[in-house]
Amino acid sequence: MRNSQLGLLIFILVIFSSCYRPAARQAFEDLKILEGKWFSTEGPQFNEQWKVVNDSLMVGVGFSMNEGDTAFKERLKIYRSGDQIFYGAQVGENNNFIYFKLKEARIRSWMFENPVHDYPNIIQYKLIDEHTLVAKTTNMRGNKEVIFKMKKSEE
């Protein structure tokens, strides 16, 4: 009896999480959990830092280190404009941001897309638990996948 109740509970949780499709305001609230410093644990060495500015803007920085020096750096932002959310990245000396539209939001999972950008076309974030984040970049066909596994700093 106990196993069947547990199975039913798991089934109900799966159903509810697959039906979760938040409006932009709620999706942005959910994204605020990314605030803080995230450091690579596996895969390419890439770190991110996010700060919530207000109820419609988060700013951040992404960077990789090579022997104590910054090898790569990009300015980041996530913002809500009306009923849409965008992820922006400004790479290197380029003054322009490249924008990706939030195409899918689930519980602790977000997918941003820009089909006309050369690479990446898709940026995904998945929060495994409060301290583990997986970010993934791919092209539109799901090729050229790069996975970044990060842990949240305790600072």
Mean pLDDT by 10 residues, the chain (155 residues): 58 52 91 96 90 97 78 92 96 89 95 95 96 95 90 88
Q: Please provide the DSSP assignment of 59-96 as one string.
A: EEEEEEEETTEEEEEEEEEEEEETTEEEEEEEETT--S
Backbone angles phi, psi at 79, to 5 degrees: -140, 155
pLDDT for res 119: 92
Sign of CA dihedral 100, 20, 151, 146: negative
Classify residue 83 as exposed, middle or buried by CB count within 10 Å of its CB (0-12, 13-18, 19+): exposed
Task: Please identify which residue in the block is written with the tokens 């009896």.
Answer: 1
Residue 121 near residue 140, CB atoms below 8 Å? yes
Q: How far apart are CA 28 and CA 23, in angstroms?
A: 9
pLDDT for res 154: 84
**Cα within 13 Å of Cα(27), Cβ side:** 26
What pTM, to 2 d.p., does this model score? 0.84
DSSP SS3 for 122 = strand
Closest CA to 99 of 61, 73, 83, 85: 85
Domains identified in the chain and CATH numbers: 22-152 (2.40.128.20)
Q: How far apart are CA 64 and CA 66, in angstroms?
A: 7
**Biggest CA-to-CA distance, the chain:** 63
